[in-house]
């Protein structure tokens, strides 16, 4: 599987998203994904599933160096002491001595960004996280982190799929050589019933979802973390990597409406 090199880490372009997976079902899903070749697992303290993922990672007995684990600190815990407490709790639940990537999950108007990133950089210096990054950051917030503070941002994780325009953020990230990690890459299932994508899928003996995922993953500097609890869906997402899209396909995808957001920033804490 292709990997993205960023801030000293190697990030598999296809990972497993685990939002709204919990308990034994979450553990089983992660164990299944690891058994068929996934090595990038994405979680967050807010998901309340780090313990289940920790159990799955332990049961898999894979070399730690083969795994990429991302977790995130919630917007309510962005003071230095709270970040450390949240980080310690996450590490303990995951049964790991370090994570590969630690992200600010959502922006907060109350955050002192200098203090936030200083704390994250210390965790990196201590070897407890191999890299740091952000999620749901606008271009304006990215400029604060990258240009004003000089934080070594390894990625920005945002909603991105074939029916949502993220060209402005993508352009900024590309200029700074920062990957975009796409969550909701299948638009929470809406992609599956998109006629144009289904038509392209027929041409390639693939599903609409596979076409949409391949379209994302063939873009430079873009990774994706589709949520998939069933083994069949996990395998289908892996198989999307085998599709070869052509310029006609890409033109059709480019012409799709690009305003179908699944996660409404208006309901997000302190979206700027």
Assign 12 to helix, strand or coil.
Answer: strand
3-state secondary structure 82-124: HHHHHHHHHHHHHCCCCECEEEECCCCCCCCHHHHHHHHHHHH
Measured CA to CA, the distance from residue 212 to residue 185 in angstroms comes to 8
CATH code, residues 10-187+222-229: 3.20.20.100
The 8-class DSSP code of residue 179 comes to P
Instruction: Render pLDDT for 199-244 as a digit per residue (tens, 0 to 9).
Output: 999 999 999 999 999 999 999 999 999 999 999 999 999 999 999 9
212 contacts 162 by C-beta, under 8 angstroms? yes
Domain ranges of the chain: 10-187+222-229
Instruction: Render pLDDT for 58-103 as a digit per residue (tens, 0 to 9).
Output: 999 999 999 999 999 999 999 999 999 999 999 999 999 999 999 9
Assign 223 to helix, strand or coil.
Answer: strand
Instruction: Render pLDDT for 33-64 as a digit per residue (tens, 0 to 9).
Output: 999 999 999 999 999 999 999 999 999 999 99
Active-site annotation, residues = 47
Measured CA to CA, the distance from residue 55 to residue 94 in angstroms comes to 7
105 is in an annotated binding site: yes
- For residue 180, what are the CA distances in angstroms to 10, 79, 82, 171? 14, 25, 26, 10
């Amino acid at each position: 599987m292709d990997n993205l090199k960023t801030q000293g880490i190697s990030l598999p372009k296809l990972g497993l998203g685990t939002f709204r997976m919990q308990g034994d079902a979450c553990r089983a899903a992660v164990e299944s994904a690891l058994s068929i070749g996934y090595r990038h697992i994405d979680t967050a303290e807010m998901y309340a599933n780090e313990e289940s993922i920790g159990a799955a990672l332990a049961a898999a007995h894979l070399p730690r160096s083969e795994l990429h684990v991302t977790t995130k600190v919630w917007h309510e815990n962005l003071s230095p002491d709270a970040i450390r407490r949240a980080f310690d709790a996450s590490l303990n639940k995951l049964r790991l001595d370090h994570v590969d990537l630690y992200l600010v999950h959502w922006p907060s108007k109350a955050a002192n960004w200098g203090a936030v990133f200083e704390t994250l950089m210390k965790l990196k210096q201590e070897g407890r996280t191999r890299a740091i990054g952000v999620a749901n950051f606008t271009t304006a917030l990215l400029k604060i982190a990258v240009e004003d503070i000089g934080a070594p941002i390894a990625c920005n994780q945002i909603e991105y799929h074939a029916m949502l325009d993220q060209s402005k953020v993508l352009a900024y990230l590309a200029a700074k050589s920062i990957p975009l990690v796409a969550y909701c890459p299948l638009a929470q299932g809406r992609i599956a019933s998109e006629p144009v994508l289904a038509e392209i899928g027929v041409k390639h003996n693939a599903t609409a979802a596979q076409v949409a995922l391949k379209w994302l993953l063939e873009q430079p500097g873009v990774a994706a973390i589709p949520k998939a609890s069933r083994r069949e869906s996990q395998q289908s997402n892996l198989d999307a990597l085998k599709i070869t899209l052509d310029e006609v396909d890409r033109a059709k995808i480019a012409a799709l409406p690009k305003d179908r957001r699944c996660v409404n920033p208006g309901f997000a804490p302190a979206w700027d």
